[in-house]
Structure 1
Amino acid sequence: MGMKFGRLSFLFLLLTLVLAGCGEPFLSTLKPAGEVAETQLTLLFISTSIMVLVILVVVIIYLIVLFRFRRKKGEENKIPKQVEGSHKLEIIWTVIPILLLLSLSVPTIAATFKLGDVKDMDKVDKDGNREALVVNVRANLYWWEFEYPDLGIITSQDLVVPTDEKVYFNLKASDVKHSFWVPAAGGKMDTNTDNENKFYLVFDKEKADEAGNLFYGKCAELCGPSHAYMDFKVKAVSRDEFNQWATAMQKNKEEVQPTSDLAKQGQEVFQANNCIACHAVTANDARPETARTAPNLADFGNRTRVAGILEYNEENLKAWIQNPEKFKPGNQMYKEANLSEEELDALAEYLMGLKVQE
């Protein structure tokens, strides 16, 4: 029995070590890629070090007491020296916890106020233009919308940000509580339906280059049956590249016209099935927020995932269109499309051709 238990324990330990190497790069809080994440990781190391120190001291004292003061033969009636009422000991075990708490609370409080300072979000230049980049994040079941209010741009699922500068976020939810989290960039922040939360993140250029300019974000609040599939991507690029992207998106005031006969047929399928009632196909979506009930598809051809979770290819796109409930249970899209194989081919061709930038 003992050998069997030992073997199982060894196998579980080995499996744990193997699984520890799985996952996407820069999807861990232990691999920070910006100022906020580095500050929070430092706090994590401080708190962990204090806890380990306390555990070690307690274990050492326990072992000393266990061996030094254990009952010995011939000394059954011996009573060790009593230290009750010792002022020295009372001062020691009162002062040490206070020092430990201060060493943890002071940097934590300082970092909390520093990371919570968003007053620069509303700074304007001499022309009255906001200096900082602000993104309105709206969480939905089970997708993300990113609005750049000062640039007149709306995107979905793919967030584009410049590196080496503070990017400020206004966070809210349209249905239930969600939580916006880019593990490599900083801790999570809740998105609520009744108020906006604000914070900022910084994406380090060197780390972004190392990660291929792509980070991964998730919903970190249990929000429904497809909570685990509520992912998004963050493209962190240089300021010049971001400006080029923003300029191209701002010019996208009209739908990108299909270039092939099959794509034109797909455009007709898209319109005939009234997909346009929910999905915008331009980055300059002038509809009110309440009317934006599905992801913006303006730059769908440059996405890296279908529905945020599937590998980007034609087969997965058609499978998603045909039965989205299969991949994201509880999503708000229609449950099943009654389209022929030819219509699916055409629609996939049209959607994959929606590219603001080649």
Structure 2
Amino acid sequence: MKNRLHKWRLLSLFAMIALILSGCGKPFLSTLTPAGEVAQTQFDLMVLSTAIMVLVILVVTVMFIYVIFRFRRKKGDENKIPKQVEGSHKLEIIWTVIPILLLIVLTVPTVSYTFALADVSPMEKKDKDGKTKDALVINVRANLYWWEFEYPDEGVITSQDLVVPTDQRVYFNLKASDVKHSFWIPAVGGKMDTNTDGENQFFLEFDGESAEKVKNQFYGKCAELCGPSHALMDFKVETKSPEEFDQWISDMKSAKAPKAEDGLAKQGEEVFNKSCIGCHAITPNDSRPEQARRAPNLSNFGERSKIAGVMDHSEEDLKNWLEDPEKYKPGNKMTGTYGDLSSEQLDALTAYLMDLKVENK
């Protein structure tokens, strides 16, 4: 008896913990606070399917409890055989039609929304220069363990920070350069795989009011197990009004390679040009082919809020990352690159990188 009571206590405790944790989460990283057309559609389907399941469970539970009490064995009826009901056409029709109706209720909107969310036809409308006419297209390339975002019609490339306008559809071409990954912004829409042997396409829409509530910042993640640092493959999403986004694109297109002026940063620029420039670019209008872009674009590194997507943006954390990237992101391709740098060179390189910002000239 004591063992049973103990097990029930543990079960009750775990149930309470699960209930509490189900309410945890942050609005910029939660599927339960939809912040766009796609997220709201998927959330509505989730609510509908959950409601149907709960309804079925409740009906079955009520019937089960009713049968237990209504037809339980009573004293004096041990040898009495109740009336046997077999082959009732009415019952068979009822328990066949009801599930069919429930499936129809769930299937019709699911199929309808599936086709609607898969419509990327605006991406195919090109002007005479080969640019997309009426849609913003972003090429997303997933790498071990970082993200690249290319705005092909604008000639702009960023890494780790995705910048998008609010209240309009943004179309994505998704691919991977090494292994399969998955692009996912939980609060804005469901995940989509990035493959090495083909492109996936879909669209998202970022609601302006929802974006203001989270200070115009969402977070995205890789949702496909891709290696030892899969859980650390994050990126930031910054939302802007359409007017602010146009200004940002203009600034990025006209940006030039920064020139270090401070003595320490000047030394860091020399270190960068010897050790880093082969993989990293420092201008957002990088014209190198995709194969040459083997590491994140650092043009706006000084303006970021995270280092490597997961570390605080501080000089101390940047030095820690440069000294031992493997410690913070196991399996990343930068491991071992900066092992021979002295502490003075690390200080100089840190000063230079923290000063990298987009300048409109």
TM-score (normalised: structure 2): 0.94
- Total equivalences in the alignment: 356
Shift of 1:70: 1.3
Distance in 1 of aligned mates of 2:142 and 2:251? 25
TM superposition outliers: structure 1 runs of 4+ over 3 Å: 1-25, 124-129
**Gapped regions of structure 2 (runs ≥ 5):** none
The alignment status of 1:116 with 2:118, answered yes or no, reads: yes
Determine if contact 2:164/2:240 at 8 Å carries over to the other structure: yes
Which of 182, 187, 204 is the matching residue for 2:185? Answer: 182
Distance 1:198 1:93, change over 3 A: same
Which of 36, 40, 57 is the matching residue for 1:38? Answer: 40
Shift of 1:25: 3.2
Distance in 1 of aligned mates of 2:183 and 2:125? 24
Partner of 2:308: 307
**Matched position secondary structure for 1:347:** helix
1:326-337 alignment, distance < 5 Å? 326-335=327-336, 337=339
Which of 272, 275, 295 is the matching residue for 2:274? Answer: 272
Which of 204, 208, 211 is the matching residue for 1:205? Answer: 208
Amino acid corresponding to residue 46 of structure 1 in structure 2: L
Give per-residue Cα distances to partners, 1:234-289, cap 9 Å, x unaligned.
Answer: 0011011111111111012x31111311111110111122x111111111111111
Shift of 1:81: 2.5
**Matched position secondary structure for 2:45:** helix
Distance in 2 of aligned mates of 1:70 and 1:88? 24
Amino acid corresponding to residue 195 of structure 1 in structure 2: G
The alignment status of 1:157 with 2:160, answered yes or no, reads: yes
Distance in 1 of aligned mates of 2:222 and 2:38? 18
Which of 53, 56, 71 is the matching residue for 1:54? Answer: 56
Shift of 1:36: 0.4
The alignment status of 1:96 with 2:92, answered yes or no, reads: no
**Gapped regions of structure 1 (runs ≥ 5):** none
The alignment status of 1:286 with 2:307, answered yes or no, reads: no
**Matched position secondary structure for 2:149:** strand
Shift of 1:19: 4.8
Give per-residue Cα distances to partners, 1:218-237, cap 9 Å, x unaligned.
Answer: 00000001000000010011
Partner of 1:240: 243
Determine if contact 1:216/1:233 at 8 Å carries over to the other structure: yes
Give per-residue Cα distances to partners, 1:292-327, cap 9 Å, x unaligned.
Answer: 111010111111100000011110011001100000
TM-score (normalised: structure 1): 0.94
Distance 1:63 1:357, change over 3 A: farther
Partner of 2:71: 69
Amino acid corresponding to residue 318 of structure 2 in structure 1: L
Distance 1:9 1:58, change over 3 A: closer
Partner of 1:85: 87
Distance 1:316 1:11, change over 3 A: farther
Determine if contact 1:322/1:338 at 8 Å carries over to the other structure: no
Which of 249, 257, 261 is the matching residue for 2:263? Answer: 261
Amino acid corresponding to residue 259 of structure 1 in structure 2: E
Distance in 1 of aligned mates of 2:351 and 2:9? 53
Determine if contact 2:27/2:187 at 8 Å carries over to the other structure: no
**Matched position secondary structure for 2:271:** helix
Give the share of equivalent positions with the same residue, in percent: 65
Distance in 2 of aligned mates of 1:316 and 1:114? 44
